[in-house]
Each structure stands twice: as C-alpha cells, then as structure tokens.
Chain A
C-alpha cells in the first residue's frame, strides 16, 4: 500500500528526514516512535503533503502511484488521512459543514453522488458515538474552543466519517488523560480493517497498550534506527531512547 524509499526531507534548509525506508501493507498497524526532534511529525506531514517540507531525495509510492506528485487534497481523496498533532481552529466554519464538504469531495472523486442531508446526519450521529463526541460540537466552528481532548476526538471522528485507507495518527495521545486515551484508542480499533492501514506516531508507549501495533519503528535523527514487533515499544519504555542511540553509535564505530 505504501512504499517509502530513502526519503530525505528538509525545512528551510535543515535536513530533518535522513533516508527513511518503510513499507506498509493493508491491514497493518505501524508505530513510529522516537525522541523529540527525531522527525516523526515531519514524516507524518510529508505523507499528507504539507508544502513547508521539501523532499530532496527518495520516493513514496502509494497504491502504485507517486504520492509526492499529488496535492494534499488528491491524497485525501485517494484515502490518505492525517490526524493532526495540533488540530487547527477554524472560526466561522461549522464542523458539519467542513466534514460534509470533505466527504463530498472524496465521494465525487470516487464517482459517487453527493450525500443527502438526512443520510449525512445519520452517518455523523453514528460515528460520533464511536468517540463519544458531544452533539453540540457538530455545529460549533471546527475545533474552536474545543478542549485538547475534544480536538483529538474530533480528529478520530473525522477519520471515522471519511473512512481512509491509510490513516496517520500524529501524537494523537498527547494531551489526553487516560479515559480520553481509551476512548480515542477504542475508536481507532473499531476502524481497523483488513484493507486499511494505520501509522501511529507517538512519543510514549502507553497508546500502544490500546492500539496494538504489528510493527514498531524507532526514529532517530531522521532515520529508522530500529524496527521490531510490539515488544520493542515495551523495551523502549523501560530503557528509554538513549539505549537505541548508544546502539547506533556502537554499530557505526564497528562499521
């Protein structure tokens, strides 16, 4: 589904991704972990098409297509979804209007008719229950005045409505208390299917207790320093990221 090959990316001349290679197949959940500044969020933003990052080398193929050649909206219509670390407030645009516009753009791309108001409302009500989102947040402007937890739940609610093939959750756990974390994780788990994939970007292991990954990758200095199964997350929790860094240094000395 997703093939990232030797991707280098920089922002304002600073190289942040330094040769990332990663393959994600349908049905898989990959966790990207790493210390602050290791490039996790950059990778998430590059996948979604944020133009402040310049990809200088490497390729990303998504379902056989050149992802880097696509506009952010094209990627979304093809099924890529980014749950933002810091969801943006958009005063003056209601959550439902925004979501309906997004859903219809995606439906149109897939050759489907615009969803009618009744069906949309029904869909929205159903998906809101998934993340226990309050009804009143529907008609409020997007994220405006939402609490930190509400913003994150709103992201997963959008994901539930738009049904992406590849979802990237960028530090969706940050700022959540344990109850909110469980609600968000349960919501994500209900959206797991054989034909979709999820990339979970996180600093801490705790989210991975709820969203259990198939693979864990540790990002250090813009490249994947270590990959493993779900138990790698536990090791990291125990030993910290320095352990991976030291491992890396030893390896480079031996080489």
Chain B
C-alpha cells in the first residue's frame, strides 16, 4: 500500500515500524502473554509475502474454501485476487472490496476510520501488522441498508514460503444497516507461515451485524488476530469465532459498547489437538447504561493441546443496568491437554447484573452410559457428545447454509485421525 509519503496511511506505517522496533515480540513476562509463548514465531525468519501471478490459482483449486454465498473477496498471501473475488448484486452505496484500492482512491471513510479503533501500541503484533500494511477487506454499508447474502472475506495462504501475511480489514456499518460477514482463513499449500490480521469494525446506531470467523490455517502455521468493534446505541453485534487450525493461535476480540440499548454477543469454539496452542482474549467494555453482553467460549482439547481463555468485562461507572454474562466451558479429551481460564470482571457501577462461570471437564459419564445403554457404541457415543458440545456454539450461526457447512467441517475435524465405529 505504498503511496504518497505524506498520505495518512504512509504516516501510520512509519509510526508502526518505529513502534515495533522499540518493543519487539511480546514475552511471557507480559501479563497479557503469560500463557502464550510466541518465541517460536520470533525465531522464524519471515519474508514479505510475494504476490502470485493473477492466474496462479483457479476457482476449482479453492473450491473447498468457498462458502454458500455470492459475495466473496479473496486474498492470496494477503494480496487481493481480482480473478477469485466476486460480488453479487449489492444495494446502492455499498462498497465491498480491497482496502488498498480504497486507499488509492482516497476514500473518505478510510481516512476517517482506519487505525482509529486499534492503537498501535495495543500489542506488538498490531504494530507489526500496521508496519506491513498491504491490503485487506474494506466493507462500507450506508445507513438503512440491508445486505442479504453473507459477505465472505477469504484469506488463503500459500504456505511453501515462510510468508508474513498481514491483512487489515475495515468494516463500517451505517445506521440501521444489516449484514453477515464471514472472515475465513485457509491454506492452499502447507507450511510455516504467519497470519497476523487486524480487523476494525464500526457498528453505528441500530445496525445489526453478525461476524463469523472460521480459522483453519495449516497446523504448522501461526495465526494472530485482533478484532476491535465500536458499537453505537441500539446496535447488535454477534461474533462467532471458530478456531480449528494453526500451531500457535491468538485471538483478541474487543467490543466497546458506547451507547445505550446495545446487545453484544461473543461466542467462540476452539478445537485443539496435537501440540496446538489456542488462546482467546476477549474484552467487553460497558461504557453506557442499559446494555447486554453474552459470551460463550468453548474449547475441546485433545492430545497435548493447550487452551487459554481470558475474558475481561469492564462496567464503567456510567453503565448502570448492565446485564453481562460470561461462560467458558472446556472439554478435555486427553489427560495431557491443558486449559488456562481467567475471567476478569471489573465493575464500577452498582446496579448491574454480571455473571461468569468456567468449567473444565471430561465427557459426562452419565451421558455416556445413557447412550451406550441404548445400543450406541462407546466411540460413537463419545463422538456424539463431543459434537454436541461443539454444536452449542456452531448452532448460533444464523445463516442456515453457512451453519451447515461449519457443522460438517467441525464434525470432520473432530473425527480426524480416527475411524468412528458404531
């Protein structure tokens, strides 16, 4: 995204480079990275991702990554692919495409919103992302506009080089607008690459946005993601974040509830196996009164997998009548899997309802026996119960065809490496 050296984006990048040079990668001495050691990432000599020839990938080759929608913006190694992208009929005024193109055209919204929510020093990975800011998805929905079909941001990695892929997404949803956005990450060829993505989302008054994220990176890859949402009065945001791939995965999801009557839902599902580490950090900031937030994060960990959940909820002095509920549930399928869970509620208002609960356990013996006593074999019974645990989150995806695809994917993943008897 090289342009005029005086352009705001150029300035932002220069600051970010300086910032990252000061901090370097975080270490486990930082409270926020206590359970997640990123030194394996720091050890790799990543290289800037190379843009492929425009016809290097065909639609047939990426078919497995496509979702049942007519709207998709595709990035390969972080570079926008015009030939793979396709946008169906859109209501007037909707802008949906490459962020770099919007920057080039000096789109007013980019200058207004880019980098406004996410601070450079938020995490070193944000400065790294910004320093290498290349491209990403840009979605602008005007006021009172409904986009019916989901909009799919598809990020594909060609893993055979240790590429650093740094997508930057910007979503601006106008007043009373409505849309479903799917952000998905996959790979075409295996390898140890790094995806370091930042998404900024502005949800204006009365807007209803669902953001579904499907992360299925290669098992050797690293995935670091940060999403910030700013919500205005009476808006609704539902985030469903599903983490399946990656060797080290860190998701930071934050929402600032900056008006009254807001409804914010953050759901997450992690499936960890082998030596995967999947870390979810969420922050819900209740700044104004009469808002509700619901949070359900679940993890299924097998092998030597590790999971981390840190859920912060702030209730500011002004935020009376807040209703916040946080739940974190983990299913451990092996003795060597580990979960670290930490709810962190900081409440400065007195007339609020805030609850949180965390459970870590194995499959329920009573349920297993019940299934088996009706003739269902032990492996199949375990499979049914494990999938049921996961479907609690996947089932919250509203779009039918999308949910069904996700259910199939999750089911396949749960069965990886073993044949299921009856």
Contact = CB atoms under 8 A, between A and B. Distances in A.
Interface of A: 48-52, 71-73, 75-77, 81-82, 84, 87-88, 90-93, 97-99, 101-106, 108-109, 141, 158, 162
6 contacts: A71-B378, A73-B375, A90-B371, A92-B388, A105-B377, A158-B374
Nearest to A49: B373
Interface stretch (B9-17, B49-57, B143-151, B362-370): B362-370
B385 interface: yes
A205 to B, nearest CB: 27
Contacts of B395: 92
Contacts of B365: 52
B374 A109 contact: no
Q: How large is the interface on B (under 10, 10 to 19, 20 to 34, 35 or more residues)?
A: 20 to 34
Contacts of B372: 49, 71-73, 76
B131 to A, nearest CB: 43
Interface string B353-369: 00000000000111101
Interface in B384-416: 384-385, 387-389, 391-392, 395
B422 interface: yes
A165 to B, nearest CB: 13
Mostly helix, strand, loop or mixed at chain A's interface?
helix
B376 A82 contact: no
Given A50-B369, A76-B372, A90 B377 contact: no
B367 A90 contact: yes
Given A88-B367, A98-B384, A108-B422, A76 B392 contact: no
Contacts of B384: 93, 97-98, 101
Q: Which of A99, A105, A106 has the most CB of B within 10 A?
A: A105
A77 to B, nearest CB: 5
Can you list the 4 inter-chain pairs with the closest CB atoms, starting with the nearest? A92-B388, A76-B375, A102-B374, A72-B372
Given A73-B378, A105-B422, A91 B388 contact: yes
B380 A101 contact: yes
A251 B385 CA distance: 51
Contacts of B367: 88, 90
Given A97-B384, A101-B384, A105-B380, 6 more contacts: A49-B373, A73-B381, A75-B373, A90-B370, A102-B371, A102-B374
A52 B369 CA distance: 10
A135 to B, nearest CB: 21
A97 B388 CA distance: 11
Nearest to B370: A88
Contacts of A158: 374
Contacts of B387: 92
